[in-house]
Structure 1
Amino acid sequence: MANKLHPIKSIEVRTQSYVLNHFEKSKYAKRLRMLKDTHLGEMCFIIGNGPSLSADDLEVLRKNNVLSFGFNRIFLMFDKTNWRPDFYVSQDEKMLFNCQEDVNNLEINAKFIPLINKYFHNIDIKDALYFNMHSSIQGVPVFSDSVDSYIGKSNTVAFSAAQIAVYMGFKKIYLLGVDHNFAVYQNDKGEIINDKSVKDYFTDEYNKDKENLYIPNLDASTRAFISMKKYCDEHGIEVYNATRGGKLEVFPRVDFDMIF
């Protein structure tokens, strides 16, 4: 039986390899291509899951009909607000694997998931829009404006969401709840830093399985945000940080309460 199955497995592996190397020709790219410039000139919010994120602020977005991107375990906020993100993005296979059922049950316009998670980690999300990821060049994440070809890989999912937002035509992007700070993180030297005074997320339930999750590298995330700012500045896209506090200083700060 094993010998009979081996050729089939080999064909599957070759097919997956071809799709990843020629993603722009795939059915997945065709679905992504339908989103090109669908929100040309509009404004959106990219919602992080930091401790500064509040249900009250999300309610303001809901009442003003602002389009938004949410990530990972943002659904843990849903019992506190009627707000829901319009778009969902998750690329961390460890986190996705542990909350796959919750993500499948999300009623959201579009869920963006890396195709490698389906191919190599057996994470098959219902109605997902699968995208391809490319690694950074010499440690610098590449900001892609052709997500039907690839999305530049980085340590922060906000970077991926921003590429999708730009592809969809958004010209003004606000970050909210992107605290860019963790109780336990690492730097480029591989050093682990502990700061017990810091909360990781808006709820302690968020990373109850943190022993099985990646330790964030804030140096790498900062480089991603710098790459994002460079691209957006060069292409007339405004990006502002409306987070209440936090340590992300790459983008100009704005007072969330003054936006509306």
Structure 2
Amino acid sequence: MPPSNLILLGSFLKNMRDIKNLRGHYNDERVFIIGNGPSLNKTPLEKLKSEYTIGLNSIGWIYSETDWRPTIYCNGKRYPRAHWPNGDYSIISKNIKLADFCFFDPNWRGILGEQKNVFYLDKWKLQTGPFHKYNIKKIKSISNRQLYNFWSDDISDLIYHYHTMYEAVQIAVYLGFDAIYFIGCDLGLEYLSPHLIFESGLDPFHFDGSKYDYLKTAIRERSLGRSLINGIALNLIRRISNNKMINYFNTDTSDHFIPDYLTVDIADGPQTERELIKSHIVSKRVCENKGINIYNATIGGELEVYDRVDLNELI
């Protein structure tokens, strides 16, 4: 084995060993997972200064508005240069200096290197396989054993990825927290519909069912031709987006606490929101099975999977 490969293997094994040492580090404590939703702009984050918190992704851009800082930082972005195209990782470096522990996709290793409080998590994407095919009703009804097809109890081995918030819950459970609260988890994603050539036809993006169900429903509603054209338009747009979504279908989004957080495309909106809800249902069911309390303390928003609590009354 070439020396460079031996070095990489050694780094990988050390990373795995160090993550194993984190299991139960915060046993019997509570933690607040801070998302990037627009409700952060009206959330009194200063109240969390004495609490354990996990900050996600671009949370650093709110530091100029508050003196709160996260205990733990989790960045679920798999392609650093796609989200930081100008190569300015200063806000990432700041998070590493501030946080006790930081968790990244392995693609960050070439940028960040080996640092004492930085850990790289191998991931399994839930966008493939049965999770993506199951609807919300199915996720609610599968057995507890089946839930672990989508959940990791040992993040040193792998972590299941759909969105960063979902990773953060698996990390929080692994670290031993026995109460988890969400803040800045708004949902209500912006929806673009350039594929709706006919408003009177079915919207294939909204439709929660198989292609066969789609056709049956279109026939029943006497909109088969219009619905088929909408479906063909959606497929064409998705093919374009796979080669980089053209600017016409991109727009700034208000789904996050800063206006230029990212651009949304047709992959956002109701379908993505259903997938997010499914991952929250898995989180809730797993945590309840483990005796871990899990709540939504977000101000407003549309996440109703968990019982809601008032942050001002909580602290």
After TM superposition, the score normalised by the length of structure 2 is: 0.65
Is 1:74 the counterpart of 2:74? The answer is: no
CA contact (8 A) 2:190 2:268 kept: no
Q: Deviations over 1:23-81 (max 9, x none)?
A: 7xx2111111121111101000000110111375210111xx10100111111110011
CA contact (8 A) 1:90 1:96 kept: no
Q: Which residue of 1 aligns with 2:299?
A: 244
**If you compute each CA radius of gyration, which structure gives the higher value, 1 or 2?**
2
Give the match's secondary structure for 1:220.
Answer: helix
Instruction: State the Cα RMSD in Å.
Output: 3.3
Q: Which residue of 1 aligns with 2:83?
A: 95
CA contact (8 A) 2:61 2:91 kept: no
Distance, in Å, in 2 between the alignment partners of 1:215 and 1:123 is: 28
For these two proteins, the number of residue pairs brought into alignment is: 235
Is 1:139 the counterpart of 2:120? The answer is: no
Matches within 5 A, 1:1-260: 12=5, 26-54=13-41, 57-62=44-49, 65-92=50-77, 93=79, 94-95=82-83, 99-106=88-95, 107=97, 108-115=99-106, 117-118=107-108, 122-124=110-112, 127=115, 128-136=118-126, 137-139=129-131, 142-154=150-162, 156-184=163-191, 199-207=254-262, 210=263, 215=268, 217-260=272-315
Which 5+ residue runs of structure 2 have no aligned equivalent? 133-148, 193-204, 209-230, 238-248
Which 5+ residue runs of structure 1 have no aligned equivalent? 1-6
CA contact (8 A) 1:188 1:220 kept: no
Distance, in Å, in 2 between the alignment partners of 1:180 and 1:236 is: 26
Distance, in Å, in 2 between the alignment partners of 1:188 and 1:31 is: 44
* CA shift for structure 1 position 232: 0.4
Q: Deviations over 1:170-198 (max 9, x none)?
A: 00000001001222477687969x9x9x8
CA contact (8 A) 1:187 1:219 kept: no
- When residues 125 and 82 of structure 1 are mapped into structure 2, their CA distance, relative to the original with a 3 A threshold, is farther
Larger helix proportion of the pair: 2
CA contact (8 A) 1:178 1:243 kept: yes
Give the match's secondary structure for 1:44.
Answer: strand
Distance, in Å, in 2 between the alignment partners of 1:172 and 1:105 is: 27
* CA shift for structure 1 position 231: 0.5
Distance, in Å, in 2 between the alignment partners of 1:138 and 1:105 is: 38
Q: Deviations over 1:130-170 (max 9, x none)?
A: 1111233512671212111111111x201101111101100
After TM superposition, the score normalised by the length of structure 1 is: 0.78
Distance, in Å, in 1 between the alignment partners of 2:84 and 2:72 is: 16
Distance, in Å, in 2 between the alignment partners of 1:43 and 1:95 is: 31
Q: Which residue of 2 aligns with 1:4?
A: none
Distance, in Å, in 1 between the alignment partners of 2:52 and 2:76 is: 21
Task: Identify which range, 245-254 or 131-140, moves more after superposition.
Answer: 131-140
Identity of aligned residues (%): 28
The code of the aligned residue for 2:154 comes to: S
